[in-house]
Structure 1
């Protein structure tokens, strides 16, 4: 279960840390293997069932089952998820969520933390992953072309517009790749141009503790708590193309502040 708390009253920004016990490499290896096997044994059969179910049942109606899939998968991976919402966050409004990208479990974490009916923009190569890719396609996620050909970009743009118009919130990893340090990398402008053109409000999202759980540098899993900060929404209506760089920088600054404070507290 996720615990929703107001960012204003949260106080500390190091909720995912706490004293972490250091284990031997042998323990980490077998513990990680155990959790990976548990996750896989649960995820792939249930995922395949949900893909089959989507042929007959609208994905909005099966959304509780999809959330249960991701929630239970994260529990089997040894993760506890806590969500902290800003005071101005509206749980029923359509948003474009800009999120830091740390590992392959990010979509699972976010699906538990975000109350809206939400889908994501993911690299088209992810849609080729067995079970997971089939689910992404059936459930209406939007492929981002690896090679940005004009026709593919226009298709992505149309799909994004259609999703937002239908009241579907979207998640975007503005860095375009997973971090190698846990810190926030530079942002691409595409998502911010979309938000400006479509007039969709942006919610900056800072996820802390996820990099320490698992990252691009290895396959090991380190069970822990992950905290998702849903910051104050930023309105984009009335902005022009010239405002996009400033919008991008503002969102990044908000996210980086929380992430940097988290690491400062880890080192204290």
Structure 2
């Protein structure tokens, strides 16, 4: 019976992805600011989350200043981390993403074509630096950017080593870093399994960490500060459930 449930969930996810993804991909040609794509993404993910029996709890929305752009940094252990952020973030958003994601049907196309995705070529240092400089300009222009500083999913739920690019970006843009911690998603998509389980996810948004006045030599100290803030936000019970 459980296998039937898993198959049914995957079919629903596929249907929602084709429907909403087609809409987002088509609209992306006319939605260069990404506002409509953000709206589509929220509805797309809301249908997926409800169909999978996943509940998302959120704390810390009071830490956002609606009139000020930010760089949001969060842990990464499942695709449902993205769901938790997209459904609770009170602003429109842009993702810093590796350029390979642009080739994923529907999701990747919409991400790249609409400008919601800031695509970074990690295989080419000069292009990567140019992408981050362009991202800094967009942030100074009012864009809010989401970064997974680990660079990839954690297989255990424990924080992995942080890459430096996002911190370089935040210092360049001179905007605060908002630390966010997602707990429970590893139990929703267990390791070495294609299952999608029902369950509870919690996301905590921490207090903004200022970067005003910081320079490149302060990058490592900022990295430590952000890491400590993300680590402090974990819900131990939910993390144990996925361990």
Q: Fold match, TM over 0.5?
A: yes
Contact 1:120-1:172 at 8 Å conserved across structures = yes
Secondary structure of residue in 2 paired with 1:137: helix
Deviations 1:66-90 (A, max 9, x none): 3212222222232222221164332
Pair 1:139–1:264, CA change in 2 (3 A): closer
Which of residues 236, 244, 254 in structure 1 aligns to 2:211?
Answer: 236
Which residue, out of 98, 116, 129, partners 1:123? 98
Which residue of 1 is the match for residue 167 of structure 2? 192
Q: TM-score, normalised by structure 1?
A: 0.81
Q: Does 1:42 align with 2:1?
A: no
Structure 1 equivalent of residue 121 of structure 2: 145
Matches within 5 A, 1:56-75: 56-57=30-31, 59-61=34-36, 63-75=38-50
Unpaired stretches in structure 1, ≥5 consecutive residues: 1-25
State the distance in 1 between where 2:181 and 2:66 align: 17
Q: Deviation digits for residues 192-225 of structure 1, max 9, x if unmatched? A: 1111122010000000111111155321111112
Alignment of 1:19-168 (within 5 A): 27=2, 29-57=3-31, 59-61=34-36, 63-85=38-60, 87-140=62-115, 141-147=117-123, 149-168=124-143
How many residues are aligned here?
240
Query: Measured at CA, do residues 160 and 191 of structure 1 come closer, stay the same or move farther in structure 2, by a change above 3 Å?
Result: same
Identify if the C-alpha distance between structure 1 residues 183 and 263 changes in structure 2 by more than 3 Å, giving closer, same or farther.
farther
Which structure would you say has the larger Rg? 1
- The question of whether the paired residues in 1 share the 8 Å contact of 2:182 and 2:234 is answered with yes
Unaligned runs of 5+ in 2: none
1:62 and 1:197 map into 2 onto residues whose CA distance is: 27
Distance 2:120 2:195 in 1: 28
Contact persistence 1:89–1:231 (CA under 8 A)? no
- Offset of 1:257 from its aligned partner? 2.0
CA contact (8 A) 2:180 2:205 kept: yes
Q: RMSD in angstroms over aligned alpha carbons?
A: 2.2
Aligned in 2, Cα 1:265/1:181: closer, same or farther, shift over 3 Å? closer
Between the aligned partners of 2:95 and 2:136, the Cα distance in structure 1 is 13
Which stretch shows the higher mean deviation, 211-220 or 243-252?
211-220
